[in-house]
Amino acid sequence: MEAKEYGNVGKKAIWFVKSLLCGYIVTGFLLLILALMLYKLGLSEQNVNAGIVLIYVISTFSAGFVLGKLAGKRKFLWGLFAGITYFVLLMLITLGVYHAFQG
């Protein structure tokens, strides 16, 4: 019975990594589109900042959605957990790069 439980934990960890990877891929793709729009359309700083916030919201939602779909049960809780983890990782990366939480 113990081996079955450990296999289940490993399976959930793989689901979790897949969902976070999906969130980061969505982030990268949407930020690339935003950069191209900035280059071609000359967007204002306010528009770019709003776009970045929107991209992070969409990416967090996509990571949570993927994990909820993979889990099958308690989709909302798994999705919430993935979204919170995605956000915390972004904050840690920001802290590591800029050594402060700004704007």
Overall size of the chain counted in residues: 103
Confidence (pTM): 0.75
pLDDT computed for residue 83 by the predictor: 80
Using the CB atoms, write b or e for 6-36: b if 16+ within 10 Å.
eeeeeeeeebbeebbebbbebbeebeeebee
What residues does each domain of the chain span? 2-98
> Residue 64 to residues 31, 51, 86: CA-CA distances in angstroms?
19, 20, 9
pLDDT computed for residue 25 by the predictor: 94
Mean pLDDT by 10 residues, the chain (103 residues): 60 84 91 92 89 89 85 81 83 80 61
